[in-house]
């Protein structure tokens, strides 16, 4: 007899405490920057740019944090998926240049959609091969994982040079996504708004999967105690391969968005952004998607404000941010239990 | 004695360079509650973990229901109908009680009648159903850990020191629960240091020392022999009371 779970009336239940403090940090940081920036118009531009950048970093980092959380795998080769995804997208957009340069937004979005799908499928397949060939032999051996996945990143970058050439490539933004939407005195760049929408969509889908599906429950449980998940009869290795593929595909999506944001592309695009990605997953709490989301926004806000106010400390500012957060919460904003 | 559901013959387990189990021979009869006693470090927890495949045996055979399971992967062993309640309880702290139970019900949504039975045994679980398991007390976590192991009918349940650090009132609840499971003919292998608790439930008993079984017999015989208790465990039941 399979029936729904009998449960007591909601008013009988004690409420779970919610830790909302980290959620308030990004708005506090943004408001603190307003008087320093001075001009509200500039502040809005910087903040929207930061949100767009943050969402792209989140898309890239969310898979990596789950990969680490679930199997303790330190994948320094994640940057390879970012770069390969971007190059695959560029390859798909090439023959679709008519659609890309069209004034019809639907054709622009259709071209982008096809490029993103190709990038995600390509990097998903690459992720499967990467897990099987490179990661699988070094489970539980962190030092070897760092060395071999960094080696994988270098090999992937060199293969990109072989296949697509070593020179810098243009990554033209579709016509309909160029320019800005004006709201009062504020100009909001269209592509940045799209990046925010994509990032939020990925975050919502991940939250739904993690909280409303059995696979999501297994991932959350596995991040916390994979041995117990196995003792309940679940084959966590298969789950991990699935998460690795999904994380690689998300890196492909993030890489495509990041390359479009920069409008240029080199094989090193993945490696360049990985420093920020690692800061984000450490700040967020290894294995925590919610922490990764807030961490990505924080890192991007800090990078944009300091880049405008004191460009010389733009890079160091995020290291300082990470140190400050780890002094406050040594396991990150939302530490996963047992970590 | 009933037919053996689980048997270990000459099982050795190494953890790194340490040789923990040194030829364990153990029989767990069908439908009975077998207690595994022994001092700290005797190898009781390692025995359970070896049965579950969490630390694979380096030598010897483990047979469950006529099938060799030594060296099989943990999920495959669990799927044969073996439930495991580890010493650490292993509750998923970030998941609610409901989510913990939903995961434990691998074959589908938990059966409502069985869930009511579990709520009868452990009422706190119903009260804290939507609360993250990490917020439960130690005793409540232990209840959840046991409830997870029995949310679906199991052929064998391995339970590692369920009374450790638990309040006496909760222990009484556990005794009721285990007696109901025994009545249901569920086979249980219980690792325990609380001899009074073990003696109130056990049908048969095995005592471990230095990675080997040094005594096997009925619990009744051990419980009634203070001299044997003192020799094997260093303490008699009378001293517990």
Q: What confidence tens digit (pLDDT) does each residue in B42-82 have?
A: 999 999 999 999 999 999 999 999 999 998 999 999 999 99
pLDDT at A74: 86
- CATH architecture entry for B4-81+156-240: 3-Layer(aba) Sandwich (3.40)
Contact B129 A4 (CB under 8 A): no
Per DSSP, the residues of B124-139 read HHHHTTTSBGGGS-HH
The predicted-structure confidence for B197-220, as pLDDT tens digits, reads as follows 899 999 999 999 999 999 999 999
What integer best gives the mean pLDDT of chain A?
91
Give residue A2's pLDDT band: very low, low, confident or very high (50, 70, 90).
very low
Give the pLDDT score at A323.
96
More confident residue, A52 or B181: A52
List the domain boundaries for chain B.
4-81+156-240, 90-153
Residue A336: half-sphere exposure toward Cβ, Cα within 13 Å = 27
Q: Is the pTM of this model over 0.80?
A: yes
pLDDT tens digit sequence for B135-180: 999 999 999 999 999 999 999 999 999 988 888 878 888 888 899 8
- The pLDDT value given to residue A12: 52
Interface of B with A (CB under 8 A): 52, 54, 73-75, 78-79, 84, 86, 90, 92-96, 98-99, 101-104, 106, 108-113, 115-116, 119, 126-132, 134-135, 148
The partner residues of B68 in beta bridges, in order of sequence, read: B63
- A220/B90 Cβ within 8 A: no
pLDDT tens digit sequence for A235-264: 998 999 999 999 999 999 999 999 999 999
Q: What is the ipTM of this complex?
A: 0.92
Does residue A5 sit at the B interface (CB-CB below 8 Å)? yes
Residues 6+ apart with CB under 8 A from A66: A219, A223, A243, A247, A287, A289
With contact defined as beta carbons under 8 Å apart, do A48 and A181 qualify?
Answer: no
Average pLDDT over residues A290-318: 94
Q: Which chain B positions have a beta carbon within 8 Å of A221's beta carbon?
A: 92, 95, 103
Q: Which residue of A has its CA nearest to B152?
A: A232
pLDDT, average across residues A35-50:
94
Distance CA A126, CA B7 (A): 45
pLDDT (mean) for B27-33: 95
């Amino acid at each position: 007899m399979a029936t729904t779970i009998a449960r007591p009336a909601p008013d009988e239940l004690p409420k779970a405490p919610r830790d909302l403090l980290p959620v308030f940090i990004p708005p506090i940081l943004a408001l603190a920057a307003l008087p320093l920036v001075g001009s509200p118009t500039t502040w809005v531009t910087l903040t929207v740019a930061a949100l767009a950048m943050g969402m792209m970093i989140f898309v890239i980092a969310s898979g990596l944090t789950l990969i680490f959380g679930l199997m303790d795998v330190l994948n320094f080769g994640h940057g390879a998926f970012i770069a390969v995804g971007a190059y695959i997208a560029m390859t798909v957009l090439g023959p679709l240049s008519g659609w890309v340069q069209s004034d019809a937004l639907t054709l622009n979005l259709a071209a982008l959609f096809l490029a993103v799908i190709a990038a995600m499928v390509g990097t998903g397949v690459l992720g499967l091969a990467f897990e099987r060939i490179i990661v699988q032999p070094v489970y539980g051996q962190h030092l070897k994982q760092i060395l071999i996945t960094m080696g994988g990143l270098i090999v992937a970058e060199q293969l990109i040079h072989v296949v697509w050439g070593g020179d810098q490539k243009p990554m033209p933004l579709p016509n309909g996504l160029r320019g800005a939407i004006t709201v009062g005195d504020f100009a909001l760049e269209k592509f940045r708004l799209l990046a925010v929408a994509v990032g939020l969509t990925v975050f919502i889908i991940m939250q739904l999967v993690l909280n409303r599906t059995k696979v999501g429950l297994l991932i959350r449980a596995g991040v916390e105690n994979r041995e117990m998940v196995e003792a309940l009869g679940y084959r966590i290795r298969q789950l991990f391969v699935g998460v690795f593929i999904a994380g690689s595909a998300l890196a492909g999506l993030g890489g495509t968005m990041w390359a479009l944001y920069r409008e240029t592309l080199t094989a090193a695009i993945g490696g360049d952004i990985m420093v920020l990605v690692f800061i984000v997953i450490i700040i967020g709490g290894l294995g925590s998607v919610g922490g990764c989301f807030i961490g990505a926004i924080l890192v991007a806000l800090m990078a944009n404000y300091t880049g405008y106010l004191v460009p010389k400390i733009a890079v160091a500012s995020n290291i300082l941010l990470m140190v400050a957060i780890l002094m406050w919460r040594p396991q990150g904003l939302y530490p996963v239990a047992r970590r | 004695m009933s037919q053996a559901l689980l048997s270990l013959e000459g099982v050795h387990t190494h953890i790194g360079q340490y040789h923990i189990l040194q030829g364990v021979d153990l029989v767990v009869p069908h439908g009975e509650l077998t207690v595994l006693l022994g001092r700290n470090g005797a190898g009781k927890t390692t025995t359970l973990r070896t049965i579950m495949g969490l630390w694979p045996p380096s030598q010897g055979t483990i047979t469950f229901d006529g099938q060799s399971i030594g060296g099989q992967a943990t999920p495959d062993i669990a799927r044969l109908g073996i439930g495991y309640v580890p010493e650490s309880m292993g509750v998923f702290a970030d998941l609610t009680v409901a989510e913990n139970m939903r995961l434990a019900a691998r074959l589908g949504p938990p059966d409502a009648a069985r869930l009511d039975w579990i709520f009868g045994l452990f009422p706190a679980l119903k009260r804290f159903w939507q609360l993250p398991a990490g917020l439960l007390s130690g005793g409540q976590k232990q209840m959840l850990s046991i409830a997870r192991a029995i949310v679906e009918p199991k052929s064998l349940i391995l339970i590692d020191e369920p009374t450790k650090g638990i309040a006496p009132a909760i222990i009484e609840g556990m005794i009721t629960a285990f007696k109901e499971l025994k009545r249901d003919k569920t086979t249980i292998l219980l690792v325990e240091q609380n001899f009074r608790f073990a003696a109130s439930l056990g049908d048969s008993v095995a005592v471990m020392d230095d990675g080997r079984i040094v005594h096997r017999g009925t619990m009744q015989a051990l419980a009634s022999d203070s001299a044997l208790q003192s020799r094997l465990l260093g303490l008699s039941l009378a001293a517990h009371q």
